[in-house]
Amino acid sequence: MGEEKKLFTRSFRIDEATMEKFKEISAEIGGNHQETIAKLIEAYEFQKGKQVLSGRAGSKDAVIQDLQRTACNCQTTAGECRGKSKIHDR
């Protein structure tokens, strides 16, 4: 099983509307405050990652090239890359 996290009491200065929205989100996901904050951080990081991908020049081709380079680097580390590996290009 996963390692249990040690939780601490924290306080935030937020207005009533923000607190109500936080409570709604928490109730919707069925979580406590820790889980709600973790999900909000996860959503933020996901959106940030999408922005990085969408901001690349020639986005699809750049992403494919990056994936090919990464795959080759991983294989090189494992001693398997012979310069012939290619990720399926659509």
Condensed to tens digits (0 to 9), the pLDDT of residues 32-49 reads 989 999 999 999 988 888
pLDDT of 19 above 80: yes
pLDDT of 89 above 80: no
Listed residue (3, 7, 2) closest to 37, CA to CA: 7
pTM summary value: 0.51
The alpha-carbon radius of gyration of the chain (Å, integer) is 21
Which two three-digit tokens encode residue 27? 């109730």
Of residues 23 and 59, which shows the higher confidence score? Answer: 23
Listed residue (22, 20, 62, 55) closest to 38, CA to CA: 22
